[in-house]
Amino acid sequence: MIKDLNTDNNSCAAWIAKFLINRKVEFVFGLQGGHIQPIWDHCYKLGIKIIDVRDEKAAVHMAQAYSYFTGKVGIAMVTAGPGVTNTVTGIANAFLSNIPVLLIGGCAPLQQSNMGPLQDIPHVDILKPVTNYSRTARVPDQIIRELDLAFSYALGNMGSPGPCYFEVPTDILRESVDDKLVLEDWMIEKKPYNLIPSSIDIDKAINTIRNSKKPLIITGRGALKSGQQILKFINKYNIPYLETQDSRGLIPQSNPNNIFAARSKAMSEADLVILLGRKLDYQLAFGSPAVFKEAKFIRISDSSLELTDNRRGFPEILSDPGVAIELIHNELNKSNFDEDWINNIKNFHLEKIKKVLDKKVNKTGDDNKINPNYIFEKLKNIIDDDFIGIADGGDILSFARVGLHSKYYMDSGTFGCLGVGIPYAIAASKVFKEKKIICVTGDGSFGFNAMEIDTAVKNNSNICIIISNNGGWNIEKHDQRLNYGNRVYATSLAHSDYAALAKSLGAYGVRVEDPEKLEQALSEALNNTPSVVDVITSSTILSSDAIKGLGFVPRYQALDVWDDMEIEFRKK
C-alpha cells in the first residue's frame, strides 16, 4: 500500500528545501539514502533538480566545479555513514581550493543516540579539519538559523570561503516548525561581504609599486571575479602577468602581458610580485628567495589565509582584489618600470612559444603508440578556444596545461586530486549549456570515477572524455626507473578498452590506436556526446612534470630544479 509520510510543508526537511529555493539553488548533487530522504523528496517537489551520482565523492566534486564556474555555493547531499565518509576527499579538495560548497548530510535519529544505530559515526568530527563549519543541528526551530550560518561560512563571510558540513537527525527532519519561528532574515539570500581596503594600505602599495623596476602580477582563486580590473591595470602600465592553475583563463593567453612561457625567468628576476588571491604554496616555490631572488611582495586577497603564508607582503591588503587594483590603477598615475626588462621578458616569452610551435610533434613515441601531445594538436584543428577544458591526472595534466587551449579551464588543483575530471565536466555542462565540454584524463585518473559516465548519460551531458591510455602511472614509473634502481612494480595498468565500457553505459565510445584516425575520432565524439575517446598513448614520451622530478618528492621544493636552487641558496 502506497503511503505519503512527507506531506508536512512545515517540517524541518521542508524548511531546508524552501531555504535552498530562497538561495536560488538550481541543482543539488548527491546520492539518496533513507537518512536524507525527507529533504530529497521536498527538493523534488519544489523543483530543485537533483543530479544523482554513483559515488558520493563525485557529488562533492560536481558541487565544487559548479561553484567554481558560477561563483555560487555548490550544494551536495548525501546519506549517513559511508555516504558522508565517501565525501572526505572531495571536501578536502574544495577546502584547499577555498571553494564554497555546502554538504548536507544525514545522521541517526536522536532517540537512538549512543545505542549503536545504523550508519552512525562522528561525521562532524571527521569533517571538521577540512571544513569552515561542521555541525549537527538538533533543535527544530533553530535548524534554519544554523543552515543560514553554514551558508555564510561557505561564502567566506566568517573568514575564507570554503566547504561546510551541516547535518540533521532524521527524526528532527520530520518535526514541524511554525512559520513565526523561522525568521525571514534567516531565509533571505546572502552575498559575500564586500571588503574595501583602507586608503593607507592603498598608498603603501602605490609607494611600493613606484619604487619597483621589475614588477610581476600573479593571480589565483581570489582574483577570479577581478579579471576586468586586472586587465585594465596590466594593459595601462605594461606589467608582466602570470596565472596559476586556479586562475587560468582570467587574462587571455593572447594578451601581450601574459608571459606564461617565461614563468621561471620572470619569477627569478622580478623585484616586486603583486600577488592577487593566491597562497604561496608549492606551486609558487613557497615564495622562497632561492627562486624569487630579488622580489618583495604586495599581497591582496579577500581571504586572510592568502595574505601571510611563507612570505609577508608590503603591504598585506584584506580586500576584494578587483576593488584594490582599481583604486591602485586610478591613483598610481606614473611608474618607474624598467621597460627594457619588460620587453626582454616579453621577447623571451615569444621566442619560447615560437620554439614550441616550430617544433614538430611526432605522431608516436618509441613504442609506436600515439604521442599524448598529438591529441592537443588534433583538437586545435577541429575546435577554437571557446570551450571548457578539464584536465585530470598526473602525467597527462602536464601535457594538458600546455596543450589544452580552452577559454575556460579547471584541473586537479592544489590538492593534486585525481578523478575529478568526469564530475567536473558534468557540472560544467549544467553551467555552459551551449558550449562543448572537453575533459582530458589519464587512464589511472579515469578509473576513480569511471561510473559517472552513467550519470553523464542520464543527464545527457554535453561532455567529451578523452583518455590518454598509456597503461600505467607514468610519473611514478619514471621515478622508479630513475631513482629506485629501475625496479618498476605496481605502477602498470592494462590498456583496458574504456570505449567499450562507455558503450555499455549508453555513451558514444571510440578506441583509437592509429594516429591517422585520431582527428576524425575526436570530431565524431564531439558531435555525439556524452562520449569517450580511448586513445592508446605512448609511455615513452615523458611529461615535463616527470622530467622535473615531481614523483620523487624532493626535500625542499616540489620540483627538482627549484630544489637544486634551494640547496644552492642554503649553501651560500
List residues with catalytic annotation.
476
- Paired with 218 in beta bridges are 242, 275
Q: Are 400 and 391 in contact (CB under 8 A)?
A: yes
Cα(111)–Cα(106) distance, integer angstroms: 15
Contact between 12 and 172 under an 8 Å Cβ cutoff? The reply is yes
**Helix, strand, coil share of the chain (percent; to 5):** 45, 15, 40
Q: Rounded to 5 degrees, what angle do the CA atoms 225, 231, 234 make?
A: 130
Residue 301 CA to residue 249 CA, distance in Å, equals: 19
In angstroms, the CA 422 to CA 182 distance is 39
Within 8 A by CB and 6+ apart from 514, the residues are none
Amino acid (1-letter code) at residue 190:
K
**Residue among 392, 517, 369, 541 nearest 467 (CA):** 392
If you write DSSP's letter for every residue of 457-498 in order, what string do you get? Answer: HHTT--EEEEEEE-SB-HHHHHHHHHHTTT---S-B-----H
Give yes or no for a contact between 459 and 485, defined as CB atoms under 8 angstroms apart.
Answer: no
Amino acid identity, position 345: I
Q: Give the position of cell 582530458.
A: 440
Residues 554, 531: contact at Cβ < 8 Å? Answer: no
